[in-house]
Amino acid sequence: MTNIKLTLAYDGTEYNGWQIQSEGRTIQGELTRVLSLLDQRHITLHGAGRTDAGVHAEGQVASFGLERDFGLRELRDAINGNLDRDIRVLEAEFADDSFHARVSARLKTYRYRIWTRDVVSPFARRYVHHFRSALDIVTMRQAASLLEGKHDFKAFTVSASDAETSVRTIRRLEIIEESDGLAILVSADGFLRYMVRAIAGTLIEVGRGRLSATRVANALSTLDRSEVGPTAPACGLTLLRVDY
């Protein structure tokens, strides 16, 4: 048995997220189907993160055990040849037996893009949140700085979260101006369900003057979901990379 690491990119628009479900197409489901076909047995595929329905990835990572003898390029091309073109294996690598795509991950980085111009390009519409309103980037950055570090992010997830703890450490939370809007970059040791989208929705409310930075800080102590902004749409979110 050979342990394989895959680096993946996908357009999540047409999928019900990463994780296999009883109904609907998922990224993990499509990859498991193809890998099981190639290895002629059922494959268990582990992903670095469970991206939600409609969320994209440029650098998702997955791992699995392979019994058949494949060259890495041959394996990559065989997988891609059996997938729809909105999912692609960018690289296949041999990994140590101890490597696990989720457990071994040290840092994950997401980008949330907000398009603020009046008209969104048809080439970008699937990958941005179109928000036609001026945003105060200075106050957004002030609020973002309060979220960096180790905190209990219970206010930024769903009440039914199955995570053992809602404490996470955000290493970087940066807001970058772009020609058509802005991007929120966030790197952390892990994320709760909807956490990045809740942060994005909160910073948008700060940027439009409906929430104060003080209120965002209070949410970290009260752990009250009603103190922060709404969950931003999935289309603007992309998993950029996973570091090990």
| Pure H helices in 90-182 | 137-147
Q: Which residue has the tokens 């289309």?
A: 235
Q: Which residue has the tokens 């048809």?
A: 122
Dihedral (CA of 49, 137, 170, 155) sign: negative
| End-to-end CA, the chain | 22
24: left (phi over 0), alpha (psi -120 to 50) or beta: left
Q: Are 29 and 20 in contact (CB under 8 A)?
A: yes
Catalytic annotation, pick one of 52, 97, 118, 180 = 52
Residue type, 32: T
For 162, phi then psi, to 5°, come to -95, 10
Q: Is 96 a catalytic residue?
A: no
Residue type, 91: E
Catalytic site positions: 52
